[in-house]
Structure 1
Amino acid sequence: MRNFVENRKYFFLAVNTGFAQSGLPDARCRDFYRERSRHGLHCSIVGNVVTPGGTGSNDVCAEISGAPAWRQLTESISECGALPGIQLASAWQGYQGMKRFVPNAGADPLEEYRSIATSLSGKDARAAFDGLYRGTEFAVKAGFRHVQIHAGHGYLFNLLVDPRLSRHSEFSLEEIRRWARDLAAMGIESSMRISIWAGHPVFDDQCRDQFFSSVAALPVSYVDVSAGFYNINKRLIYPSSSSQISDRVKATLAFASCHPETQVILSGKSALAWDARLPPNVHIGICRDLIANPNFLLDRARGCTSCMKCHYFSRGVSHLTCGQWEPKGN
Structure 2
Amino acid sequence: MHLFSPLTLRSLTLRNRIAVSPMCQYSAVDGRANDWHLVHLGARAAGGAGLVMFEATAVEARGRISPADLGLWDDAQVEPLARVVRFVEAQGAATCLQLAHAGRKASTAPPWEGGGPVAPSAGGWLPVAPSALPFRDGDAAPHALDAGELRAVVQAFAAAARRATAAGFRAVEIHAAHGYLLHQFLSPLSNRRTDAYGGSFENRTRLVREVVSAVRAEWPEPLPVIVRISATDWVEEGGWDVAQSVELARGLAPLGVELVDVSSGGLVPTAKVPAGPGYQSGFAERIRREAHVATGAVGMIVAPEQADHVIRSGQADLVLMAREMLRDPHFPLRAARALGQDGPWPKQYLRAR
Confirm or deny a common fold (TM above 0.5).
yes
User: Are residue 45 (structure 1) and residue 82 (structure 2) matched?
Assistant: no
Match of 1:71 among 82, 104, 107: 82
Match of 2:313 among 270, 273, 278: 278
Which residues in structure 2 correspond to 1:164-183 (within 5 Å)?
A: 165=191, 166-167=197-198, 168-179=203-214, 181-182=216-217
Deviations 1:190-218 (A, max 9, x none): 111111122322134x6651343122321
Task: Give how far 1:177 is off.
Answer: 4.1
| Matching of residue 92 in structure 1 with residue 103 in structure 2 | yes
* Counterpart selection for 1:222 from 229, 244, 259: 259
Is the contact made by 2:98 and 2:174 (CA closer than 8 Å) also made in structure 1?
Answer: yes
Q: Deviations over 1:119-155 (max 9, x none)?
A: 3322232121111011111111111111111111111
In structure 2, the residue matched to 1:309 is none
Shift of 1:60: 0.9
| Selected match of 1:191 from 226, 242, 264 | 226
Choose the corresponding residue for 1:252, options 256, 259, 284.
Answer: 284
Aligned counterparts of 1:253 and 1:6: Cα–Cα separation in 2: 19
Aligned-partner Cα distance in 1 for 2:144–2:276: 33
CA distance in 2: counterparts of 1:84 and 1:47, whole angstroms: 11
1:295-314 matches, within 5 Å, as: 295-300=330-335
Q: Choose 209-218 or 263-272, whichever is displaced more.
A: 209-218
Aligned residue for 2:334, secondary structure, equals coil
SS at match of 1:274: helix
Look up the equivalent residue of 1:223 and give its one-letter code: V
Question: Is the contact made by 1:14 and 1:46 (CA closer than 8 Å) also made in structure 2?
Answer: yes
1:181 Cα deviation from its structure 2 partner: 3.6
Task: Answer yes or no: is the 8 Å Cα contact 1:192–1:220 preserved in 2.
Answer: yes
Q: Kindly provide the CA deviation profile for residues 223-272 of structure 1, in whole angstroms up to 9, marking residues without a partner as x.
A: 11111115426885xx8xxx53343222322222222x201010112245
Alignment map for 1:21-40 (pairs within 5 Å): 21-38=29-46, 40=48
Shift in CA distance, 118/251, structure 1 to aligned 2, threshold 3 Å: farther
Counterpart code for 2:96: G
Distance in 1 of aligned mates of 2:267 and 2:108: 7
Match of 1:212 among 246, 265, 286: 246
Q: Is the 8 A contact 2:97 2:169 kept in 1?
A: yes
Taking only the aligned residue pairs, the percentage that are identical comes to: 19
TM-score normalised to structure 1 length = 0.75
Task: Note if 1:154 corresponds to 2:175.
Answer: no
In the alignment, the residues of structure 2 paired with residue 127 and residue 172 of structure 1 have an alpha-carbon distance, to the nearest angstrom, of 11
1:139 pairs with 2:184: no
Instruction: Give the conservation status (yes or no) of the 8 Å contact 2:105–2:135.
Output: no
Question: Which structure 2 residue ranges, 5 or more long, are not aligned?
Answer: 8-15, 116-131, 192-196, 337-353
1:171 maps to amino acid: R
Aligned length: 287
Sort the Cα spacing of 1:250 and 1:94 in 2 relative to 1 into closer, same or farther, 3 A.
closer
Distance 2:335 2:283 in 1: 24
Structure 1's unaligned 5+ residue stretches are: 102-109, 302-330
Asked if the contact 2:21/2:52 (under 8 Å) is kept, the reply is: yes
Q: 1:19 offset after TM fit, Å? A: 2.8
User: For residues 302 and 27 of structure 2, what CA distance do their matches in structure 1 show?
Assistant: 26
TM-score normalised per structure 2: 0.70
Q: What secondary structure, in the 3-state scheme, does the structure 1 residue paired with 2:234 have?
A: coil
User: What is the root-mean-square deviation of aligned Cα atoms in Å?
Assistant: 3.4
Q: 1:209 to 1:280 in 2, by over 3 A?
A: closer
- How far did residue 292 of structure 1 move? 1.3
Contact 1:57 1:95 in 2 (8 A): yes
The Cα of 1:93 is off from its aligned counterpart by: 6.5
